[in-house]
A and B are shown apart, each in its own frame.
Chain A
Amino acid sequence: MSTPHDPEKHVLDPDRGSEPVFGQDHAAKESPNDLACELLAQSLAAWRVAGNVERASDGALLIGGNAKAIRIERAPPQSMLRWTVTVDGRKRAAISLVAVLRQVREALDPGYTAVRVRIAVAPLVPS
């Protein structure tokens, strides 16, 4: 069962995470804001964190969950950083969506400990 796509509001549905809503490459056709919004909603599902994501009238993304209020907006054009993340009134910059995800997770998931990628020393095939 697929869930109707509503880019304006995404309420966590734990069952939705495993259901492909779109066909392949569909995501690449969405606008960046839609992508970020749905990515955040799906991230909550992937992390098994309760919460919801919606878009404010000014275009910012709002996340509520774990008694936290999070606001995510594009950084000003002259900024070297891409995003601004405000958690309970505290504003921080984020260089990328990956950094946004990290800040959101840290705010919503108290048990979260980032696992850093480790690069294998053994080659995949001989050089």
Chain B
Amino acid sequence: MSGDVIPVSVLTGFLGSGKTTMLRHLLGQPEFSRTAVIINEFGEVGIDHDLIEASEDSFIELQTGCLCCKIRTDLAQTLQDLLRRRDEGRCVPFERVVIETSGLADPAPILQTLMTDANIAGRLMLGGVVTTVDAVSGAETLVREGISQKQVAVADRIVLTKLDLAGPAKPMLLCRLEALNAGAPVLVADHGRIDPARVFNSGLYDPRTKSTDVNAWLAEEAHGHAHARHDGDIQAYAIVRREPIQAVALTLFLEALAEHCGNDILRLKGIVNIRESPDRPAVIHGVQHVFHAPAWLDRWPSDDRSSRIVFITRRVPRRWAELLLAAIGEEVADVPVGR
């Protein structure tokens, strides 16, 4: 079992948006019986921990401050410790890890930690980002709190909570969510109750089936939305290219993106038709200036062989990204295509 890849899901959402209530419900489900939970709270006294009933040996609370600010090392160390305890049989052989962030946390550095720590690479894998949004005050929070916008923007799944208090989701809130992140399905939790399978199986790779689902991962934003969506500073758009892209052009493109706008690339994910590899598309994923090496799929997931790259950015113009890719592609067109 120790050789299995364990998905790590990040549960985020602004203060009071119902993260803990939902997690408490999920941990009561049979599917979540083998889940290790890491809770980060902002402040001296951990409250959320007391609200969740879980096996102590698979439950860890970080109280040294906001997860995104100064304890990335602590998070990596905590994950390593969890893996060691699992390997040594000193805790339940968990099959999933959930990190519940502080309501004030920026999830991007947490994702980067999961991507860049050499000691956990190969054992743990990002299983998706789930963001809770309070239907009562979520719209106002999204206007007022920049960090709330970012939490929604990077999500693979958005979960609306407190609809019992707010009534049906307000169109204004749904519009804002779509503007920030049209690709993420919006689910509903009823007093924290929600189908676990719909919430956390949102990553590129499904360890249970040992397969990838690129189309679901990219979601609908990559399927033909012609216009950029934006909410304030945050924009979501997709670049679609029918012509294959040379590998060197993709490399230069990602380098230039990171170099000039790295901090403003909240998330980038895509499937790319590489000229040198027409039958095996590359899947790319980046968070700010940190990018995974491309993963090469065995085959295209559908007949659509166009490259589709989804951007969620803070004021990175779509036109600039399009031109950058086109100009680099043009410039390297005379470079011999390698195999």
Q: Which A residues are closer than 8 A to B by beta carbons?
A: 16-25, 27-28, 30, 32, 35-36, 38-39, 42-43, 45-48, 82, 96-98, 101-102, 105, 114-126
Inter-chain contact count A-B, CB under 8 Å? 171
Return A99 CB to nearest CB of chain B, in Å. Answer: 10
Q: Does B327 contact A120, Cβ atoms closer than 8 Å?
A: no
Q: Does A18 contact B323, Cβ atoms closer than 8 Å?
A: no
Return A58 CB to nearest CB of chain B, in Å. Answer: 20
Return A39 CB to nearest CB of chain B, in Å. Answer: 4
Q: Which of chain A's residues have a CB closer than 8 A to the CB of B292?
A: 119-120, 122-124
The docked-state distance in angstroms from the alpha carbon of A97 to that of B235 is 25
The docked-state distance in angstroms from the alpha carbon of A29 to that of B260 is 25
Q: Does A20 contact B293, Cβ atoms closer than 8 Å?
A: no
Q: Does A98 contact B255, Cβ atoms closer than 8 Å?
A: yes
Q: Which of chain B's residues have a CB closer than 8 A to the CB of A22?
A: 322
Instruction: Say yes or no: A101-B256 contact (C-beta < 8 A), given A35-B327, A96-B331, A125-B295.
Output: yes
Return A61 CB to nearest CB of chain B, in Å. Answer: 12
Chain B contact residues: over half helix, strand or loop, or mixed?
A: mixed
The docked-state distance in angstroms from the alpha carbon of A42 to that of B212 is 36
The docked-state distance in angstroms from the alpha carbon of A98 to that of B329 is 11
Return A3 CB to nearest CB of chain B, in Å. Answer: 10
Would you list which residues of chain B between 98 and 136 have a CB under 8 Å from chain A? 112, 114-118, 120-122, 124-126
Q: Does A117 contact B320, Cβ atoms closer than 8 Å?
A: no
Residue B316 interfacial (CB < 8 Å): yes
Find the B residue at minimum CB distance from A114.
Answer: B259
Return B205 CB to nearest CB of chain A, in Å. Answer: 4
Return B328 CB to nearest CB of chain A, in Å. Answer: 6
Q: Does A46 contact B331, Cβ atoms closer than 8 Å?
A: no
Q: Does B227 contact A116, Cβ atoms closer than 8 Å?
A: no
Would you list which residues of chain B between 32 and 78 have a CB under 8 Å from chain A? none
Kindly list the 3 A-B residue pairs having the minimum CB-CB distance in the complex, ordered from nearest: A17-B317, A115-B262, A27-B326
Instruction: Say yes or no: A102-B239 contact (C-beta < 8 A), given A18-B318, A35-B326.
Output: no
Residue B294 interfacial (CB < 8 Å): yes
Residue B252 interfacial (CB < 8 Å): yes
Contacts A16-B319, A97-B328 given; 12 further ones with Cβ under 8 A?
A: A17-B318, A20-B318, A30-B326, A35-B330, A101-B256, A102-B259, A115-B263, A120-B115, A121-B118, A122-B121, A122-B124, A124-B204
Q: Which of chain B's residues have a CB closer than 8 A to the CB of A25?
A: 240-243
Q: Which of chain A's residues have a CB closer than 8 A to the CB of B332?
A: 96
Residue B24 interfacial (CB < 8 Å): no
Residue B254 interfacial (CB < 8 Å): yes
Q: Does B327 contact A36, Cβ atoms closer than 8 Å?
A: yes
Residue B324 interfacial (CB < 8 Å): yes
Return A41 CB to nearest CB of chain B, in Å. Answer: 9
Q: Does B235 contact A18, Cβ atoms closer than 8 Å?
A: yes
Would you list which residues of chain B between 307 and 339 have a CB under 8 Å from chain A? 315-320, 322-332
* 9-residue interface stretch from B141-149, B151-159, B171-179, B282-290: B282-290
Q: Does A17 contact B319, Cβ atoms closer than 8 Å?
A: yes
Q: Does B122 contact A122, Cβ atoms closer than 8 Å?
A: yes
Q: Does B322 contact A27, Cβ atoms closer than 8 Å?
A: yes
- Residue A46 contacts which of B114, B122, B317 (CB distance < 8 angstroms)? B317
Return B8 CB to nearest CB of chain A, in Å. Answer: 10
Q: Does A117 contact B289, Cβ atoms closer than 8 Å?
A: yes
Residue B5 interfacial (CB < 8 Å): yes
